[in-house]
Amino acid sequence: MEPTPRNIRRNLRITKFSGIRFRRNEIESLPELHASLQNLKKLDLHSNNLKEISSAIKFFPSLERLYLSKNKIINLVPDFCLLDKLLICFLNNNELTKIPNEIKNLIKLKKLYLNDNKLEYIPKEIGNLINLKILMLNKNKLKKVPFSLKNLKNLRRLFL
């Protein structure tokens, strides 16, 4: 039997994986791996067919690096912002139209790539991400940026 996102969990008995890479696999929803991979630090789902990040994301509480570029993601559920250990997040080249206000909870985040989406506004709460060093917002439909960006004292690169 060929491994698919649905039957991988059944065949996977390892709990010490630190990273998983499912690039270019036409995955449409988050793999149901959460029961066995609570300690996962890196999840790479770059170049798939994800349309949303479901609440299942909360089952990866140890994530530090998340690669979701080149999907078809429209929305981020508020549970996405429970990933309080997240350091690097690639959400570029999607269809995002909104960032949840709860993004303020991702205070450890150092790199956030939101370029090449359909964002018109960025919530003012992004100013709480005081550890951000890189913020990519270019190639969106931004009408304005929040004044709270001035709070990002560690920011080294800002692309608008």
What percent of the chain is predicted at pLDDT more than 70?
A: 86
The pLDDT score that the predictor gives to residue 11 is: 47
The pLDDT score that the predictor gives to residue 141 is: 96
State the total domains in the chain.
1
Mode of pairing for the β-strands spanning 88-90 and 65-67: parallel
The pLDDT score that the predictor gives to residue 1 is: 41
35 or 46: which leads in pLDDT? 46
pLDDT grade for 6, boundaries at 50, 70 and 90: low
Residue 47 in contact with residue 72, Cβ under 8 Å? no
pTM to 2 decimal places? 0.86
CATH of the domain at 65: 3.80.10.10
Distance in angstroms (rounded) separating the CA atoms of residues 61 and 121: 27
Q: Which two tokens stand for residue 123?
A: 């919530």
Residue showing tokens 């890196």 = 42
Distance in angstroms (rounded) separating the CA atoms of residues 131 and 155: 8
Find the domain containing 12 and state its range. Answer: 5-159
